[in-house]
């Protein structure tokens, strides 16, 4: 089932040398919370709020008493306060312009670095000519563009490339190298060639079955979420039925009282 199109997350220019393409970025995926649950008071279903509490003096504080800070050490004086004006002064060009100052192959992107995908759509106020030109050029050259993009408080590496079947441009944000972990060190035994052949044949057999059945990645569904939704639906129906019964009982009681008064 499709979901409503979200609002643009970013508006600006994608720039390749003297080509400037006005665009908007629309998230290609739906953001979901790690947990669908909300903490409520069991007695009255009131939401349980988290208070702002200072660990140093063990007192509750208001939002107005809080400031943004960067930790540089432990104990008193271990934080450097950063003001809103100082943050505003950090404006970087990539907040408004993605400059494709490197060009390469899509295969050079390590998939583990991919953070998020966006549909790149032409700015509604543009005629789309520059967009079409960049998309068609990338398709013909079989090359993609690399640059940087900024969302609020962080810069990310940006990869701009044609989407499926070249119908649209896509932008993928990548994590910086400093954010990546090294692969754990481990040793593997040498695989026996005859066993490798068997596994390769097994993969080919399952592939043929997949193709014959017409299966795609769209066939995978979140069974946990589906089961949870079924639980909620059944309990909601019970609540609705109980409420309906209570309303009917109240109406019956009221009618009985009115008849007695008339009598």
Task: Please identify which residue in the block is written with the tokens 């040398």.
Answer: 17
Q: Report pLDDT digits (tens) over 54-71.
A: 888 889 998 888 988 888
Q: What is the pLDDT of residue 1?
A: 47
Domain definitions of the chain by residue range: 10-30+90-179, 188-263
The CATH architecture of the domain made up of 10-30+90-179 is: Beta Barrel (2.40)
Q: How is residue 187 written in tokens?
A: 């040793």
Least confident of 26-40, 171-185, 236-250: 236-250
Task: Please identify which residue in the block is written with the tokens 């995908």.
Answer: 117
Tell me, letter by letter, the H, E, C secondary structure of the chain. CCCCCCCCCEEEEEEECCEEEEEEEEECCCCCCCCCCCCECCCCCCECCCCCEECCCCEECCHHHCCCEEECCCCCCCEEECCHHHHHCCCCHHHCEEECCEEECHHHCCHHHEEEEEEEEECCCCCCHHHHHHHHHHHHHCCEEEEEEEECCEEEEEEEEECHHHCCEEEEEECCHHHCCCCCCCCCCCCCHHHHHHHHHHHHHHHHHHHHCCCCHHHCCCHHHHHHHHHHHHHHHHHHHHHHHHHHHHHHHHHHHHHHHHC
In angstroms, the CA 157 to CA 148 distance is 5
Q: What is the pLDDT of residue 73?
A: 84
Q: What is the pTM of this model?
A: 0.73
Q: How many residues does the chain have?
A: 263
Query: At residue 263, does pLDDT exceed 90?
Result: no
Please state, for a pLDDT cut of 70, what percent of the chain lies above it.
87
Backbone angles phi, psi at 6, to 5 degrees: -80, 170
Average pLDDT over residues 204-209: 96
């Amino acid at each position: 089932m499709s979901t409503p199109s979200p609002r643009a997350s970013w508006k600006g220019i994608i720039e390749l040398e003297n080509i400037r393409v006005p665009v908007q970025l629309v998230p290609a995926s739906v953001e979901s919370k790690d947990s669908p649950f909300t903490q409520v008071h069991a007695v009255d279903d009131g939401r349980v709020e988290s208070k702002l509490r200072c660990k140093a003096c063990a007192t509750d504080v208001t939002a107005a008493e809080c400031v943004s800070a960067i930790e540089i050490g432990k104990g008193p004086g271990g934080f450097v306060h950063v003001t809103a004006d100082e943050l505003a002064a950090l404006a970087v060009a990539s907040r408004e312009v993605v400059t494709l100052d490197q060009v390469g192959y899509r295969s050079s992107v390590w998939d583990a670095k991919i953070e998020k995908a966006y549909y790149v759509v032409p700015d509604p106020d543009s005629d789309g000519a520059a967009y079409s030109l960049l998309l068609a050029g990338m398709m013909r050259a079989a090359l993609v563009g690399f640059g940087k993009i900024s969302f609020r408080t962080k810069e990310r590496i940006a990869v701009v490339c044609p989407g499926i079947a070249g119908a649209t441009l896509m932008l993928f944000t990548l994590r910086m190298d400093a954010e990546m972990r090294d692969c754990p060190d481990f040793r593997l035994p040498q695989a026996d060639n005859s066993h490798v052949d068997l596994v390769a044949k097994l993969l080919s057999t399952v592939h043929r079955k997949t193709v014959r059945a017409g299966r795609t990645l769209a066939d995978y569904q979140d069974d946990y979420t589906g089961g949870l939704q079924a639980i909620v639906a059944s309990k909601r129906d019970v609540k609705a039925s109980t409420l309906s019964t209570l309303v009917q009982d109240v109406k019956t009681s009221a009618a009985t009282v009115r008849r007695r008064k008339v009598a």
